[in-house]
Structure formats: C-alpha cells, structure tokens
Amino acid sequence: MRETYYKLIFNQLKRGRFLWFPAQMWKYLTIPVSQKIERPLSGPINGSFFVTYRCNSDCVMCDYPQRAGRIKGAGLEEFDTKRMLEIIHDFAALGTTGLGFTGGEALLRKDIFTLLKASVDSGMITNISTNGYLIDEAVARELMNIGLDSINISFDGATDETFEKLRGTKNGLKKAVKAIENLKNFQKRKGDSPMINAVTVISSKNADEIEDIIKLLKGLGVDHLGFMPIHDFSFKKTSPFSPPSEGGEGGGEDLFYTEREKMEGIVDKLMINWENQFFENSLRYISLFKTCFEGKKNPLQCYVGYSHIMVDCYGRVFPCWPWIERDVSVGNIHNETSLRELWYSDKLKEARRELSQCHECFWNCHTELNLLFNSPQSVSRHLRQ
C-alpha cells in the first residue's frame, strides 16, 4: 500500500503539482477531527463513480447486471455524456483527491475514454477497475495514453474452472491474462505509468489457489496485487430496485467461511508471502482477515463517511461500498441537490453517525484508511473484548 502511495505522490510531482502533497496531508489530518465535530472540514479522499451497472460477467459476489435490468425496467436510463462530465466536475469541485471509475463493467460505456480524460484533466488521481475482457490492443493503447494513475484488473482464480465458477464467464482467465499482457506491452514503451494492478476477492472457492494466483500475476509483471475477503451482503428492501426477496449474494453459503481453519491458514500464507513492493495491502489489513473469517466484527472505528463518497450513473449517492452493495442511497444529485450540498447536508450527517458505529465490513479501501486513524493499541483492546 505504501509503495502505491509513493508512486501516486511521485506522479503528482512529475506533473508539477508541488503543493498537492501538503494539501493531502492536511486533508488526512482533518478526518478524525471532522468525525469528532460531525462536520467535514474538507472534501473526500476517494470518490467512486459507478458509470454503469451493466456487465459482461455474471459474478457470484454481486447483483449489478440484474440491478441494471431492474432499473432499466423501471424506466430509468444512464446519464448521457454531458451529465456524466458534470458529475466529474462536481467531484473535482468538492476537492476529491482521487476518482475511481467502476461498474458493472466500466468499459461497456462508449464514452468511457472521454470521461476518464476529463477526470485526469481535472487533476484528480484517476483509476479504472475492470474485468479486462474488453482490453484488446486498441483499448490498451487508449487506456495507457489517457494519463491514468492505475488500472485495476479483477483476478479471482488461477484456473479456468475457478474463474468461470466465480465470474460466470467462459475463458475469463485467458481474457484477463491477455488484458494484462496488452497493457504491459504498452507500459514498457511508456515507462511505469499507469500502474497495472490486480485485485483478488478471497472466498472458499479460490482459497486453495492463492499462492498460484500470486505466482501467475508476478510472472505477468503486474505492479501490485491486492486482496480482500468476500462479503455477504443481504440486499435490503429499502430500495425500489432491490430484488423481490432477500438473500445472500447469489453464490450460496459455500462461498463464504465454512472451512474456517483453511481460510485462516490462507491468511498465514499471505502474511508469509507479504511483500511491501508487490502487495497493495498493508500487513495490518491482511492480519484482519482472520477476524473476518472467524465471523467477528471489524475492530476499527470507521471514518468512511468523511473519506469516501460514491455516485452512480443515475445520480444516486452512497456513503460507502456496503451501502451501494445493498442499493441504499442517501440522496440523488440529479433532481434533489448538488454533490457539494449533499456532502455537507444533514442527511449525510445522519448517515455518518450510523457509519461511525458500524463494524460490519472489511472492505479494502475503507479499512486501509481506517487503519491510519486507529491506533494498534485500540484495535488490540477491541479484539480482546
């Protein structure tokens, strides 16, 4: 994680933004104070832009393709390019440090390169998360030339069988490998930017392949590999676009932590194989996986309400990843208010109060930042309780 931060800082300095680093340090320092006084003193560190819920995968860990169909069936359409560009401007005007483009599959939007370029030009750290299936040589060239800071490829197995079980797509492993190879070919010509990273969601279906995944991705030359434990979110009925009946994430109970000893052994292997320059996760974050696999609560106090904000392609706003997984928004910037007004609103203030008491998830980007604001002593005390 620190290696990733170093590269991001270096990229900003190369662009002549010499005041960027002290400004970000100030923002980090304000977050604990903001939570204490229940008022944000700065804009978010991370913004996530869900540019579509449509996807060319059918992963067991999410319902986004089905959600896209339900929303379309309700008569709503994704925003056009003009409105999407306005939202990117709103993120920048709010003082968002970095904006991640995601989905669904973000590359399914025909205007995705225009949107990415607008974010880069705004000065925000910009990355895209993708399954990689659409990254042929032409797409790889375009992505590498836009000025992105990183490209994240989902990579959940070391065999075709596991990839297909988890992501519901035939030849998914071959497509993801080919995407990385295409990106690396252009990266070698350009230097080391943008970073090409891989992200693996650990479940009982791929736990036995973790060491093979590490070996495979090292061989492909990815810059960093990040892990996170799979989460079981029950889809609440508070959204009109939720499924008609409640349930897990579609993969069945066997996806999760039914083999606890084996899953804890995987954590030991990750910690043994941990490398600062290759693993995107901090060692402290990986050590928390055991707590997750034991079915215990996250011991960290959560600051996500002051460090993150999410917006989807219909203008709905979410304060964190679990809320968007459950499809429970806090407002809509299309017909209710602006993003800036919502960031400082009483409605989001109420959500932040709830989030500050939440210990339910171990989501990677949220938890890594929370680790910065929680002392090791306080975490140890919580784990002993």
Q: Which helix (H) or strand (E) holds 182?
A: helix 172-190
Return the pLDDT at 43. Answer: 95
Residue pair 362/257 in contact (Cβ under 8 Å)? The answer is: no
Q: What average pLDDT does the segment 353-373 reach?
A: 94
pLDDT at 369: 93
Q: How far is CA 37 from CA 46, 306, 307, 308, 384, in A?
A: 21, 11, 15, 17, 29
Least confident piece of the model among 31-35, 150-154, 188-192, 341-345? 188-192
pLDDT in tens, 218-274: 999 999 999 999 887 654 444 555 555 444 444 444 555 556 777 888 899 899 888
Amino acid at 273: N
Residues 248-260 have pLDDT tens digits of 444 444 555 556 7
Q: Is the pLDDT score of 336 beyond 80?
A: no
User: In which band, very low, low, confident or very high, does the pLDDT at 24 lie, cut at 50, 70 and 90?
Assistant: confident
Mean pLDDT to the nearest integer, 284-305: 92
pTM of the model: 0.91
pLDDT of residue 60: 85
Neighbour tally for 301: CB within 10 Å: 18
